[in-house]
Structure 1
C-alpha cells in the first residue's frame, strides 16, 4: 500500500473527462497532482507533459479531482469549506490523500499511459445499500484533534437518508472515494469513463480487501485507488448560522445535499514504470526506496494558473455554475 499526500494544484470549474474543452464546466472541483491539468487533456503520457507535481512522490504526475464542499448558511448564501492536510501530511497545502493498494507483490498490473477513469455518480441522491463496502462514504470527527486515523475509511452507513451530520463535526469531515480494481485490459478509457473498469464478481470489496475475483470481461487486476479528502468545517460549527429548519448545512459543488453524489476523477501520470515497481516491491505508506519524494515546501510551489474568473473563497448567493442538481 502506498499512502501519500498531494497538495492542491488548483480549484477551478474544469473537468477534462466529463466536459472536455468546456470552460467553465458545470461544477467546481478541487484538483491535485501534475501541472499538465487543463480543460482538455489528451490521451497520452501525461508525465511527459507536466513539469512539476504537488504529490509526495515526484514520479507521480497524475491528476486526481473531486467535488468541493460548501456551507449553506441560514441566509441562503454559500462559502467553500477548505480542505486540510491529513495525518502524516503536515505542511501540505490542503489537497487529497492518495492510496494505491495491492493484495501482494506482483499481484496487480499498473495503469498504462493515457489511462483515465471516473468513479461515483454526480447525480446519485440515494444509497447503494452496500454497507461497509460502499465506495463513497464520510466520517464526522467529533473531536478537534481527530488524529487522522485512516481506518476505518467506511463505516456502516449512519446517514442512509442524510449522509452529512446534523450536529457540528468539531474535527472536520472526511470523505473517502474508492475506484474499481478490475480492468478490461484493452481500453484506456470508455465513453462513460467507467465501462472499461469494474468491481470483482462478488461486488465491490471493502478497503483494503483487494483480492476479489475479476470477471472474464475485465480480467486484469489493477491497484485499488482511493482518495481521502479532509474538510475543515471548524469555521462553521456555530449552529446559529445553520439553516433555521434544522437541516444539515453542507452541500457538494453539484448542489447535492445528500452526499451520495460524491465522485472522483483520475488521469494516470506516473513516470515510466515507477508505479508498477512500487506495487511489486512491497512499499508501505510513504516508505518506498524505489521512489523519490519531495518536501511540502517544494510541492506546494507547483500550481496551475486559474483560467475561470469567478468567486472561489468568498460568500456567494449561489454555487458556481448554479444550483443545477
Structure 2
C-alpha cells in the first residue's frame, strides 16, 4: 500500500479583528511644510496635510512648520472626523508632468484614511497608546529601487510564512514592503493592500486604474519604550516581522497601534494624455513614498479607545468614546501657509498659472541609485526618462495575496474643495446589530487530514464589517494500491472574493484531494 499526497488550500475560518478607520475628509493644506524634516523652514517638497489646526493664526496652534505636541493639542479644529484626535498626518502629493514639461497636481480623492489597527500578540490588551510628544516617519524619501533577496519589483511577495526562512524579516526589507500602489477599478475584485510596491507607469494606469490609484503606507508598530523620537524619526521604532502583524524585534517590545494610511489620487483624470506621474519629492518610481505622523491624542484617552473601541465594523460611529464632526466641518479646518509659501503655485491647474517645475524646484530622479537632496539640475540622476522602464505586476485580486486589507464598497460625489467622497454610504451604526462572525460551513474531518495556516487576509464587506480570512493548507493522505508514490499540488480553481454590492461572503473549500 502506498500513499498519494495531495496539498490544497482550504478556507477554514472567518473571524473579525477590531479596528477603527479614521476619516480625514478635509485637507489642511497642500504646501511645502514638514515640521519633522524641515522644522522652522520651508520643506523640500509639497505635502497633502491633514489634522489639527487653529482658526486664529496668531495663536500659532495646530499644524505649522514648527508644530509640537502641545501646539497640536491646542488647535481648535481638525480636518479629521474624531474631534479628540489632534494628530497630524501628511504624505507627499502626486503630480502629473505633461509632455511639454509643465506640471499639474493630481486631484486628491476623498481626503485620506488612517486605520488604527490594535494588533498585539495577545490582542488589544497588549497594545499601548502613543505617548505624549511621539512622532515617526515611515518610508524613505531617497529610495529609488527595490532590493529584497532575489525578488524583483514585478514579482508578488512570497507567502508571509516564508519570509523568515528567506531571511527577509530585517527592517530594511520590511520597510520596502510597507508601501503599496493599489490600482482601483471598482468593476473588478480589488487588489490586495501592499500588493504592488512601486508606481505603475502611465500606460498601465490608463488601461487598468479606472478609479484612480490608492497610495498606501504602513507604519512601524514596535517601540523601544523610551524615546518618543529619534534623529532620523525612525530608529526608535521598528516593524513587526510581518510588516503589520507578527513579532516585534528584540529591543522594541512595546506594541503600538499599527497605523495604515490610504490616499487616493485621480490618475485616470489624465487618461490619454502624454506624460508621467511623479511624487512631489521627484520620485516617478514610487519606491521613495513615505508618510509622517505626530501624535495629537491624549495618551489616556487613546488607551481607553484601544481597549474599548472593539466593534468589529471599524466604524468611528460604533465607538461611544468618539465625538464626530461632519464632512463639511472637517473641510472648514484649514491652515494659512507661512508668507514664504502663501503665493507659491502648488496646483498648476491653469487657474494660478502653469508650473514649469515641481514645487521647491525638485528634480525628478529615477535611480536606481539613491536620490540626492537638492533643487537644481545637478541633483538630477544620470538615468533618463527614456531608459527607465517601470516594473509590471499584473492585476491580481486581493484574495490571492497576503494583504487585501480594505477593499470597500465606494460611492462618489464631488465636495466643495474638489475632493471626491469615497467613504461607504449607509454603513451600519451602533444602532444596528453588530456584525457577526461568519464561519465556513462545518465539514466532517477526514482521517489523515491536517491543516496549517498559510496566510491571512482582511476584507471589508458592503455592510461595513471586516472579515479576517485565514487560509490553511490541507494535506490529505489517500490510500491507494500503487507501485510508486506521486506528489501532486492542487491549484485552487478560483478564489473567493467580496462582491462590492453584496452583504454576504462567498466561500468555498478548494483543492481537497479526495
Which category describes the TM-score, using the shorter chain as reference length? 0.7 to 0.9
What does residue 203 of structure 2 align with? 166
Deviations 1:124-183 (A, max 9, x none): 01114382761011011235x789x6x7212155x5xx6445331221000001101100
Q: Is the 8 A contact 1:60 1:270 kept in 2?
A: yes
Aligned-residue offset at 1:274: 2.2
Higher relative contact order (CA 8 A, sep 6+): 1
What does residue 126 of structure 1 align with? 145
Aligned-residue offset at 1:300: 1.1
Give 1:229-248 correspondences, 5 Å limit: 229-238=263-272, 241-243=273-275
Give 1:1-325 correspondences, 5 Å limit: 1-6=19-24, 7-22=26-41, 24-35=42-53, 36-42=62-68, 44-85=69-110, 95-103=111-119, 104-129=123-148, 131=157, 134-142=177-185, 152-155=192-195, 163-167=200-204, 168=206, 169-200=209-240, 203-205=241-243, 207=244, 210=245, 212-238=246-272, 241-243=273-275, 249-281=276-308, 282-283=310-311, 284-286=314-316, 287-307=318-338, 308=341, 309-314=343-348, 315-324=354-363, 325=365
Going from structure 1 to structure 2, the CA distance change for 1:295 and 1:146 (only over 3 Å counts) comes to farther
Please identify which structure carries the higher helix content. 2
Going from structure 1 to structure 2, the CA distance change for 1:57 and 1:3 (only over 3 Å counts) comes to same
- Helix, strand or coil at the partner of 1:45: helix
- Helix, strand or coil at the partner of 1:79: strand
Unaligned segments of structure 1, at least 5 residues: 86-94, 244-248
Aligned partners of 1:46, 1:215: CA distance in 2, in Å?
Answer: 33
Aligned-residue offset at 1:45: 3.4
Aligned-residue offset at 1:46: 4.4
RMSD of aligned residue pairs (Cα, Å): 2.0
Aligned partners of 1:135, 1:276: CA distance in 2, in Å?
Answer: 25
Greater mean deviation of Cα atoms: 163-172 or 292-301: 163-172
Q: Is the 8 A contact 1:184 1:217 kept in 2?
A: yes
TM-score (norm 1): 0.85
Q: Is the 8 A contact 2:212 2:265 kept in 1?
A: yes
Aligned-residue offset at 1:218: 1.1
Unaligned segments of structure 2, at least 5 residues: 1-18, 54-61, 152-156, 159-173, 349-353, 366-514
Structure 1 stretches of 4+ moved >3 Å: 44-47, 162-165
- Helix, strand or coil at the partner of 2:124: coil
Greater mean deviation of Cα atoms: 229-238 or 253-262: 229-238
Going from structure 1 to structure 2, the CA distance change for 1:3 and 1:67 (only over 3 Å counts) comes to same
| Rg larger for | 2
- Helix, strand or coil at the partner of 1:273: helix
Aligned partners of 1:216, 1:233: CA distance in 2, in Å?
Answer: 41
Aligned partners of 2:201, 2:218: CA distance in 1, in Å?
Answer: 18
Aligned partners of 2:295, 2:257: CA distance in 1, in Å?
Answer: 12
Aligned partners of 1:156, 1:323: CA distance in 2, in Å?
Answer: 25
Greater mean deviation of Cα atoms: 305-314 or 6-15: 305-314
Deviations 1:34-81 (A, max 9, x none): 111101123x43453211111111111100000000011111111000
